[in-house]
Amino acid sequence: MKKMSLVALLALSTLAFAQKIDQPTKVKNSNDKALLVKSDAAELEAKKKAAAEEKAKLPKPYDSKADAQADINKLVAQAKKEGKNIMIQAGGNWCIWCLRFNQYVQTTPELKKIVDKNYLYYHLNYSPDNNNEKVFSQYGNPGEKFGYPVFIVLDKTGKMIHVQQSDVLEEGKGYSLEKTKTFFNQWAPKS
């Protein structure tokens, strides 16, 4: 019995020792750490470069010089005549997700058809050049809560009926067709 206990103890000790050897050792050399950081920095720079190239190719629909309140007032008058709602896409030309959404809607026939039939569309600028503080405050400053882009839906009288954050419409590096269609259809004017 003593021999069995001794063999079991020896086997457990060997197993415990083997586990310690197999564990990864921590990096102690500061140069090794620097290499890891450089690799991460290089990857981050590559991602930034790719995003900048993508952004450069996309249309820039936001006008920092526009009088947003006057533009929205005109849209309300037009919406009353046409029986449409107003879709305000708030953001800026600095925002890759804002530009992606605009491009997605403009180049996806199903979405473009829904939007053109039901909405007057406006890009409300938010940037250091013009943050349209007074206009945004009328709608509860949704960009501060949800980020950009954020969508503000007005009925044909100019009354805000919905605010939609955009992340729920995202899919991968773009937007979900089904979720976006559902959003546009849900807030279209009721016949």
Contact present, 101 and 68 (Cβ < 8 Å) = no
CA–CA dist 35, 28 (Å, integer): 13
What are the beta bridge partners of residue 86? 120, 154
Residue-wise pLDDT tens for the chain (191 aa)? 444 444 444 444 444 444 444 444 444 444 545 545 556 888 889 888 988 999 999 999 999 999 999 999 999 999 999 999 999 999 999 999 999 999 999 999 999 999 999 999 999 999 999 999 999 999 999 999 999 999 999 999 999 999 999 999 999 889 999 999 999 999 999 97
How confident is the model at residue 51, as a pLDDT? Answer: 85
Number of Cβ within 10 Å of residue 157's Cβ equals 11
How confident is the model at residue 176, as a pLDDT? Answer: 97
Q: Which residues contact 163 (CB under 8 A, 6 or more apart)?
A: 139, 140, 142, 146, 150, 151, 152, 153
Q: Which of 147, 138, 145 is nearest to 90 (CA)?
A: 147
pTM over the 0.85 mark: no
How confident is the model at residue 191, as a pLDDT? Answer: 72
